[in-house]
Amino acid sequence: MDQQKIGQFIAERRRERGLTQAQLAEALGVTDKSVSKWERGVCLPDASNYQPLCEALGMTISEFFAGERIASPADPAIAEAAAVSLAETSDARRRKYRRIIAALIAAGILLLAGLIFAMRQTVRDPFAFKDHIEQSETFNTQLPLFRMLAGRKTPFLYDFSFKQDLEWLSFTLREYHDGELVNETAVGGVEIGWGRDPKTKKPVTGSVALLLDMQAGQLTVSVCNASGGVSSWDAAFEPLPSDQPIDYYPQLGGSVIEEAREIQLVGFAYDTDSSGLSAVPADSAAVRYDMQAMDYCFTFSCCFESGSD
């Protein structure tokens, strides 16, 4: 398939119809820059625009893929096969871009949280409490912004602060089907004793950001230290059926940090006998047991430890 040839054919048909790039773009609901890229062979239109573009320029799908007028109609099956092939290629490229964008969004959210957290430190003492991890105040006040940045993914943001001699933070993803543990994945781990000064006793602080897509079965977790350093990992899990009702709630309001104590950050469960996906209190062992016995259960936890061994 010759993108240059197709682009030249689009330009020829547009001029023959007496349309400007802006007019064609308006008719298709895209920008004139997109039309310009098509005509220069930089890229092809999205598969959803094939039929509207052909109708606007008075050509067939077969002629679009051929990049020229065809005297006799081509076999419809050939044109359909070409459209399906190109759509699959386009979908794969979009999935790759989404993964890159997800990592950039997670880093951007963490950097924004770090800047706001640093400004708060200058006006009040944030260390007059126990070692803990909690839902970020930044997340609560800037929730619309974070949701806009995350797109269809659901963001969660937590801040932690501790004075204990802890050096390692790890994450674990678990899935339960009908009460059976079917997947337990160590997602990642990072050293967290950043620049601890035993003389000042100043706590180690940082943030944890999650981007969760239950329908696609994708998760990105990032850890940011107070100086702006970021570590990120991706994990995959079995997605929920797309026809199931999805509702997300941060599960952790706040929890005391203790060495080697696992802290559940997010937990969801689905049961066909209930109204849909439900949120579960992070620190309720009884409710968590009931949740694991449902048709589907997903949990994501963190653990602070004294070392990586």
Domains of the chain: 3-74 (1.10.260.40), 101-305 (no CATH)
Which residues face 171 on adjacent strands? 188, 302
Which residue would you say has higher pLDDT here, 146 or 16? 16
Map tokens 């066909």 to a residue.
272
The rounded mean pLDDT for the chain is 75
Tokens of 86: 């190109």
In order of 110, 113, 237, 281, the CA distances from 206 in angstroms are 9, 10, 26, 23
pLDDT for res 253: 60
Q: Please report which helix (H) or strand (E) contains residue 181, including its range.
A: strand 180-191
Tokens of 8: 């030249």
Rounded average pLDDT over 245-254: 50
Tokens of 215: 């329908």
Rounded to the nearest 10 degrees, the angle between the axes of helix 3-16 and helix 32-39 is 120
pLDDT tens column, 100-116: 887 788 877 877 776 67
Tokens of 127: 């260390």
Tokens of 251: 């599960």
Is it the case that residue 20 has pLDDT exceeding 90? yes
pLDDT band, very low/low/confident/very high, at 126 (cuts 50, 70, 90): very low
Is it the case that residue 12 has pLDDT exceeding 90? yes
pLDDT for res 88: 57
Say whether 214 sits in a helix, a strand or coil: coil
Which of 51-60, 76-85, 119-128, 163-172 shows the lowest mean pLDDT across its residues? 119-128
Residues 6+ apart with CB under 8 A from 19: 27, 56
Which of 18-27, 126-135, 138-147 shows the lowest mean pLDDT across its residues? 138-147
Tokens of 253: 């309001």
pLDDT tens column, 134-190: 877 765 565 565 556 556 677 788 888 888 878 888 999 988 888 788 889 998 888
pLDDT tens column, 182-237: 889 998 888 887 666 667 677 888 888 888 887 788 888 888 877 677 888 888 88
Number of H helices, E strands in the chain: 9, 11
